[in-house]
Each structure stands twice: as structure tokens, then as C-alpha cells.
Amino acid sequence: MDLRLGIVGCGRISHAHGIAAQRIGKGLRFSACTDVNEDAARNFATTYGSNSFYTDYAEMLKKEQLDGVVFATWPAQHREQIETAIKAGARFILCEKAMALTGAEAVEIYDLAKKHGVTIVEGFMYTHHPAIAKLDELVHRDVSGAIDSVRASFHMFLPEPEGTQLTWRQRKETGGSVPYDRTCYPVNICARYAQALPVKVAATVAVSEKLGTITRLYGEVTYENGRVALIESSNTAVFGQEVQVTCANRIYRLATPFTMPGDGTVVEIEALKFSHIREHTHAVKSPLPVQDDLPSFHAYRPQLENFAKVVAGQAKHSQPLLVESVVNSFTLDGLVRAGLEERVVKIEIPEHIKKDWRAAREGSFA
């Protein structure tokens, strides 16, 4: 029997999950959907074959027998929606980024999930693109040497509108500021290669006088093991994404790591001697040809497949682990505070979170 999934929020990004389910085919489907906009919910149901659609997500959670729930909603809604889902009996949740607006919110989600035995996955689909696996492989070769630092950027030109027509990305009440829409990606990938808990952050931010949202964030994160991350995200820069991992003997760069529409290329830089370098390129094929629009990008399919395996009991964990998302929420929270308060911020993570994070790193996390 197919896994029965429900989706909350039927806006643009919901179609990424719907298309992923169609591509997977037999084994899972979105049997129910909900959106406050009835037309959006009806359209999703018609397009992806849902049996039922709703305008009240709590009603859907109460009435439907679902194996898993996907939240394709605004960041500011996640804390309340996740709690409602857990209280309604949901045990497997895939939540679009950013899962939480603050570290405190993330801890509340974590503690509630742990109390009820709930698996929650934050939706960083990019981690499922084969180019990320290739970057992992290259970085961790002996020839690379120890990781020194990570630099990651995600820019997208998004000028302030002249009138009152705002997207969710420009509305403070939805969690639409740069940190929760884009900075969360660099924070996530930097933590992947830092491989340690963050201890302090510094940042510079710009705030829209008109909208009250953060429009630029440039930050530095220092980790327990001495590794450093440099993070960049802006609404006033041309679209661009990149991650660079600098090691003792090699540098690795990957362009557009977070939303790769097709194939990827990891560039490896080898220093032959002072001022003399040699570049090696590692081409990575995507299972699909170049896709035109974000919802059709390949990475959403393996993300949903992995989530489905966890739901079906065929896999133990789905990446990222919830405790990793909680730690990253503290990093993002700290960067925002550091920028707004113009000071270095010490990252203070609760002891039980640090304990569980370390257990997860050691492979003993249940």
C-alpha cells in the first residue's frame, strides 16, 4: 500500500514535493492537502491526485490517516504547526527551511518531538544532490589534509517593491527576512564541514527601513575545533551561490550548491608552490537534464524518497538530524543578534542539545 502523505501549504514550493512524488510513482502519494487559499488547495489536489483538500490544516490532521506530513509553509508558522501536528498524532514530519526563527523555538520543537517519539526533518534538499556527495568524498580524502575553514554564499537580487505588493520573502511577519530564507543554507553547509559546535559569531546586517526585514547578512562563525565559517547573503547582490572548503593541502569550490538545476562541477585547487596552482575539475552528472524551474529540480525527489524510507522503517535517520537543525538555529539566531546588536555573540546551546549532538556525531544517537 502507498504511504499516505499530507501537505500543509499549497504555494509554489509545494509543487516541488508534488512533482517529486509523481517521479517516485508507486509507493507514496499526497492523499490530502491543505491551504488557506481554497483554489490553491484544489489545484494541488487535482494536479497530484489527492483524495481530499482542506482550508484548515488542523482539520486535515484530525480527519486524515496520514503516514507523514510535509510543511511547505512560511518559517514564522512552523513552530505552531509542528506542535499542532504532533498533538494530532503525526510521527513523521518534513518541514521546509527555516524550521525555526530562534534557537529557543528550535529547542521547543526538539523537546516536543523527543517526548513523543517524532521524527522531524528540515528540508534542505540540496544535500541529496550527487554533487554534495562528491564534495564530501573529495574533502575527506587524506590528500586534502585537515579542514581549515568554510565559506558559503547565497545572494539573490530582490529590490524593495514600489507599491504594497510584497512576497513572503519581504514580510517580517512571515519570517521572510534574508536569514530565514537564504542565510540558513550557508549556515547548514558550513556546519556540515566544520564538524563541531559553534561557540561565537560576529555579523554585519542591513535592515530595510520600510519593511523592517534584514536584507543583507555577512557573518563569521567560530567552532569548538577552531574552524571558521564565513557566510554571505544579500538581497542587493546579483544571484549567486558558492561553497568553498579550504583544507591544509587543497581548496574545493562548488558553484550553485543549494539549487543546482542539473549537473555540477567541483573545482579542486592544488598549490604546487608559492603562487603556482593547478586546477582539477570533477564533473558530477545529475539524474535529470537541466530543469527550468526550482520545483522540478532533481534534489527534491531523493529528499522525499529518503523521508519515505524513514517513514516506512527502511532507514533509521533522514538528514539533517533534528538535533543538527537545532544547533544551526542557534547559529543563525546568533548571527542575527550579532548584526543587530553590533557585537560578538557567544552561542549558548542548552546542555542536553549539546549532549545529543555529540552522541549523534559518535553514532550512538537513538
Characterise 273 by phi-psi region: left (phi > 0), alpha (psi -120 to 50), beta (else). Answer: beta
CB atoms within 10 A of CB 297: 23
Quick one: DSSP state of residue 84? H
Q: What is the mean pLDDT of the chain?
A: 96
Percent of the chain at pLDDT exceeding 90: 92
> Which three cell numbers mark 74?
512560511
Query: Dihedral (C-alpha) 307, 310, 316, 318: value to the nearest 10 degrees?
Result: 10
Residue 156 CA, chain-centre distance (Å), reads 16
Nearest Cα residue to 231 out of 268, 302, 179, 280: 179
Which of 129, 158, 85 shows the shortest CA–CA distance to 290? Answer: 129
Strand segments (E) across the chain: 3-8, 28-34, 52-54, 68-71, 92-96, 119-123, 147-155, 198-207, 214-223, 228-234, 240-247, 250-255, 264-273, 276-284, 345-346
CA 360 centroid distance within chain: 19
Q: Going along 224-275, which residue ranges are E strands? A: 228-234, 240-247, 250-255, 264-273
Residue 318 has a pLDDT of: 75
Please name every residue paired with 246 in a beta bridge, in sequence order, or none if there are none. 149, 251
What is the pTM for the complete model shown? 0.96
Output the pLDDT for position 361. Answer: 87
Cβ-Cβ contacts under 8 Å for 14 (sequence gap 6 or more) = 7, 33, 35, 44, 70, 72
Q: Which amino acid is at 35?
A: D
The pLDDT of residue 82 is 98
In terms of residues, how long is the chain?
366
Domains present along the chain, CATH in parentheses: 3-125 (3.40.50.720), 127-293+321-361 (3.30.360.10)
Given a contact cutoff of 8 angstroms between Cβ atoms, the answer to whether 193 and 146 are in contact is: no
C-beta atoms surrounding 288 within 10 Å: 15
> For residue 50, which amino acid is it?
S
Report pLDDT digits (tens) over 13-65.
999 999 999 999 988 999 999 999 999 999 999 999 999 999 999 999 999 99
Radius of gyration of the CA atoms of the chain, in A: 20
Helix (H, G, I), strand (E, B) or coil at 339: helix
The set of cell numbers assigned to 116 is: 513523543
Give the span between the Cα atoms of 302 and 304, in whole angstroms: 5
Average pLDDT score over residue span 194-208:
98
Contacts for 271 with CB less than 8 Å, ≥ 6 apart: 249, 277
- Condensed to tens digits (0 to 9), the pLDDT of residues 114-158 reads 999 999 999 999 999 999 999 999 999 999 999 999 999 999 999
Using CA atoms, how far residue 217 sits from 233, 312, 329, in Å, is: 5, 40, 15
Would you say residue 164 has pLDDT above 80?
A: no
**Distant-in-sequence, close-in-space partners of 115: CB < 8 Å, separation ≥ 6:** none
